[in-house]
A and B are shown apart, each in its own frame.
Chain A
Amino acid sequence: MTTAKPGPIIPPEAAPLRTLTVTMAVMCTLACLAIGALTLINRAVDQWSHGLSSEATVQLRQMQGVDPQAELAKLQTLLGQTAGIAAVTVMDPKDAARLLEPWLGTGNTADLPIPRLIRLSLDETHPPDLEALANRITIEVKGASLDTHQRWQAELTRMARSLSLLAYAILALIAASAVAMVIFATRTVLDANRQVVDVLHLVGARDGYIARQIDRRFLATGLYAGLMGVGLALLIFLILGLSGRVSGEGLAAASRSLLFAPPTVSLTSYAALLAVPVAATAIALITSRLTLIRMLRNVL
């Protein structure tokens, strides 16, 4: 009897698919890098808004004809009466002066009317009404003002938003070019097998049957390229993470935090990375299937 396994209906000539595998793997790597950046941005926004909104600062400027100690006492009483403030720390004037040293030089600050800084830790579960508090402080304590860091925080958040929009745009572009590549490769495969497809049609094969013979390979290509892309991206993160000196602390630390964050945090980022091969497979399969069905219908 003859060989046990029937030969493949479409010849396994793989050249267009090999090119597609390589380019799709590269695009998947880029997608993973974009996702890594997105993850870091989102985490940073979380930390900023968290860290900053759990704190506020009161500045008490020295004013002529006003006793700073009396105003400070008044301020402390007022803050003590306000619900939602967990702790009040009055910064030592020397510490405050030290903060200015980089700009003014050592020992030059003695005569300057440096404002007193009072740090407030806010109760995050029951935060005070910061707007009302700011009003009271300005009215009741001479030279005092509340800085809630909100403006600073809004600025950072806005910047981070634009960065993550950019990352999403990059992901969309990568997906779009992957679709275009798959369409192109599908056409190439179909053109190379025009004769075979004609014969299949003439012996009564359905378009769906012929399409399945071909898009199976695209499914494998997408999956393989996706996994290669993720692997390559993880390798890049690892190399960056291990080479702190070369790549600069910032990038290295960022890569490390991507790879080795505690499970609760890293779970989502790993899930996002694993979505890349899934998306690559889906794009390859669906795009080639639709292209095949459309093209096969046009040949009689």
Chain B
Amino acid sequence: MVRLDAVGLRYGGGPEILKDITFRLDPGAFCFLTGPSGAGKTSLLRLLFLALKPTRGLISLFGEDVTALPQPAIPLMRRRIGVVFQDFRLLDHLTTFDNVALPLRITGQRREAYAQDVMDLLAWVGLAHQADAFPPVLSGGEKQRAAIARAVISRPELLLADEPTGNVDPALARRLMHLFLELNKQGTTVFVATHDEQLIRQTGAPALHLEHGQLRAA
């Protein structure tokens, strides 16, 4: 599903943030990524959703070498990946409903086809009453849930989440983790970056630890 081979990354002429990262995620895996702030967790995830190119090394997703991927194939590969951004990246001019529906809408699906799914998912994350609200008026936790809903609405094969529970109370964090586990049961590979040691213990999934640009099992 995901394979990294001796991957190195540096921004511009700066120091190497990631050095010789080698690991793999098998299909159906559920894995955490931990590490101190500034260790490069977000950077590693950005490599995985093709927002960055590695300075060196090999990355392959779904069995395809992404460094050799032709430009037109990139959108199609991204549609197989759901991403929860640390900074949410909701579109302020669209309602919560439209934000969550975005991954379906850009594939050309009609509103009638996805409206019910979107509403069901919004209800599940506790945002049904905010469907018509715009992100600027949502609380931090509500934005986070909207971002999560957008990441999972298209039932991606790979889910990448960057601090998905940083802004919610422990009860809601467990509920959201439950959603991830539910998706994982249905076959989605899940990779979650988090500082929350308690959440990792509760979930009982393996974790990788990133520090000084190196990755090791936690």
| Chain A residues at the B interface, C-beta cutoff of 8 Å | 1-4, 6-9, 11-12, 195-196, 198-207, 209, 297, 300
- B138, chain A: closest CB distance, angstroms: 15
Residue A3 contacts which of B79, B107, B132 (CB distance < 8 angstroms)?
A: B132
Given pairs A6-B111, A200-B102, 5 additional interface contacts (CB within 8 A): A2-B119, A4-B111, A7-B98, A9-B106, A202-B49
CB of A6 within 8 A of CB of B75, answer no
Say how far B87's CB is from chain A's closest CB, in angstroms. Answer: 11
Interchain Cβ contacts under 8 Å between A and B, 15 examples: A4-B111, A7-B95, A8-B93, A9-B105, A199-B89, A199-B91, A202-B49, A202-B78, A202-B83, A204-B103, A204-B106, A205-B75, A206-B106, A300-B50, A300-B53
* Cβ contact within 8 Å between B71 and A297: yes
Given A11, A198, A206, which contacts B93 in the complex, CB threshold below 8 Å? Answer: A11
Listed residue (A202, A203, A209) with the most chain B CB atoms within 10 angstroms of its CB: A203
Q: Is the CB of B78 within 8 A of A204?
A: yes
Decide if the interface of chain B is mainly helix, strand, loop or mixed. loop
| Residue ID in chain B nearest A213 by CB atoms | B106
Chain B residues lying within 8 Å of A1, measured Cβ to Cβ, are 115, 119
Residues of A within 8 A of B103 (CB): 203-204
Q: Hey, which chain A residues are within 8 Å of B72, CB to CB?
A: 206
Q: Check if B119 sits within 8 Å of A203, measured CB to CB.
A: no
Chain B residues 59-87 with CB under 8 Å of chain A are 71-72, 75-79, 83
Rounded to whole angstroms, the CA-CA distance of A225 and B51 in the bound complex is 39
Contacts of B78 in A (CB 8 A): 201-204
* B30-69 interface code vs A (CB 8 A; 1 in, 0 out): 0000000000000000000111110000000000000000
**Whole-angstrom distance between the Cβ of A59 and the nearest chain B Cβ:** 78
- State the CA gap A12–B92 with chains docked (Å): 12
The listed residue (B89, B97, B131) touching A202 by CB distance below 8 A is B89
Q: Give the 8 A-B residue pairs with the shortest CB-CB distance, closest first.
A: A204-B79, A204-B78, A11-B93, A205-B106, A203-B103, A2-B97, A204-B75, A2-B131
Report chain A residues within 8 Å CB of B107.
204
Complex contacts, B76 vs chain A, CB 8 Å: 204
Answer yes or no: B150 CB below 8 A from chain A CBs: yes
Bound complex: CA A198 to CA B90 (Å): 11
Residues in B with CB closer than 8 Å to A2 are 95, 97, 115, 119, 131-132
Contacts of B49 in A (CB 8 A): 202
Per the bound structure, the CA–CA distance linking A11 and B49 in Å amounts to: 25
What's the nearest-Cβ distance from chain A to residue B178, in Å?
Answer: 24
**Closest Cβ–Cβ distance, residue B72 to chain A (whole Å):** 8
In angstroms, how far is the closest chain B Cβ from the Cβ of A294? 12
B 144-194 contacts with A by CB, 8 A: 150
B94, CB-defined interface residue at 8 Å: yes
How near does chain B come to A285, taking the closest CB pair, in angstroms? 21
User: Bound complex: CA of A33 vs CA of B98, how far in Å?
Assistant: 47
Closest to B116 in A: A1
Asked if B9 lies at the interface with its beta carbon under 8 angstroms from chain A, I say no
Asked if B101 is an interface residue, CB under 8 A from chain A, the answer is yes
CA distance in complex: A6, B98 (Å): 6
A296→B185 CA distance, assembly (Å) = 37
Q: Which residues of B contact A12 (CB under 8 A)?
A: 93
Nearest CB in chain B: distance from A55 CB, A: 69
B residues 96-133 in Cβ contact with A at 8 Å: 97-98, 101-103, 105-108, 111, 115, 119, 131-132
